[in-house]
Amino acid sequence: MAGPAFRAAAVRVRTPATSANLGPGFDALGLALGLYDDVVVRVADSGLHIDIAGEGSENLPRDERHLLVRSLRTAFDLLGGQPRGLEIVCANRIPHGRGLGSSSAAICAGIVAARAVTIGGEARLDDAALLALATEIEGHPDNVAACLLGGFTLSWMESGAARAIRMEPDDSIVPVVFVPGKPVLTETARGLLPRTVPHVDAAANAGRAALLVEALTRRPELLLPATEDRLHQEYRAPAMPESAALVERLRADGIPAVISGAGPTVMALTDAGTADKVSHLAGAGWAANRLDLDMRGASVLPLAP
């Protein structure tokens, strides 16, 4: 069977940062944020050439080991075959190792770009297949679902397949992220989690996660109780004590604050009237960023003129 044909023109893909868990929604809830990585991919006659600017540019590999390239390759296999060569330009704005979904952004950029440069790619790899592939590469669907779909997502595994639904977050919500200078590896943060938790804590989180769906979509005044967590943040605190202390301090002031993903970034869910004030509360050692909510998810955009 003949392999796929590829477009001669380059494609540009933009993928948003994401925050997973959001307090009680461990490995299930995700929120897309208005902070983006841009990738331009062009099929070439031969070889692999990668330019990287911005976050991670000093440390990321510029060969087949790059997560973006591995994701491209995996998607091309599903699409029917590999191109002879690739030219890739990355403009990274999402901090690495901070719990803002940089790996999910790379994965989603790779698979969306592969589909976009393949003629007939959408027929060969539909949106459900994109989610399944991204989840297979990442290992869990919470970040990749939000990255692909935008908005507020609930994801789960069913009979071995990733599933997700997208919801519209209340447009009054303004995320403020506090990014520390040092990363924490996701593997380190996950390694601190216990194998079992008390039944009372699991029950409490189930209730709070259900409440969080209502709070994020319709009643943001409930965000403080809705973001309470007993399953993961306390256990991960030894790896990020400053982050845990900041969450505790913000919540004591009535501000809904959580560890973003596996940390160490802290995210506060504020509104337009309080976002600027909240952004000044962390003090030295933190980069505070007021962000929009992203509603589009991973997108193929026109090339910049």
In the chain, the domains with their CATH numbers are 11-168 (3.30.230.10), 174-290 (3.30.70.890)
Whether the per-residue pLDDT at 114 is higher than 60: the answer is yes
Whether the per-residue pLDDT at 136 is higher than 60: the answer is yes
Which pLDDT belongs to residue 257? 98
Whether the per-residue pLDDT at 283 is higher than 70: the answer is yes
Cβ partners under 8 Å of residue 114, min gap 6: 41, 71, 72, 75, 76, 79, 121, 125
Whether the per-residue pLDDT at 58 is higher than 70: the answer is yes
Residue 179 — very low, low, confident or very high, per pLDDT cuts 50/70/90? very high
Q: Establish how many alpha carbons lie within 13 A of residue 302's alpha carbon, considering only the half-sphere containing its beta carbon.
A: 2
3-class DSSP state of 17: strand
* Predicted confidence (pLDDT) per residue in 244-255, tens digit: 999 999 999 999
C-alpha to C-alpha distance for 139 and 31, rounded to whole angstroms = 18
Mean residue pLDDT across the chain: 96
* Predicted confidence (pLDDT) per residue in 26-48, tens digit: 999 999 999 999 999 999 999 99
Residue 186 — very low, low, confident or very high, per pLDDT cuts 50/70/90? confident
Which pLDDT belongs to residue 44? 97
How much of the chain exceeds pLDDT 70, in percent? 99
Q: Whole-model pTM?
A: 0.95
Ranges of H-type helices in 44-172? 67-79, 102-117, 121-124, 127-138, 142-149
* Predicted confidence (pLDDT) per residue in 188-206, tens digit: 888 899 999 999 999 999 9
Q: Is residue 286 within a helix (H) or strand (E), and if so which, with residue range?
A: strand 286-290
* Predicted confidence (pLDDT) per residue in 144-168, tens digit: 999 999 999 999 999 999 999 999 9
Which pLDDT belongs to residue 188? 84
How many residues appear in the chain? 305
Whether the per-residue pLDDT at 180 is higher than 70: the answer is yes
Which pLDDT belongs to residue 305? 56
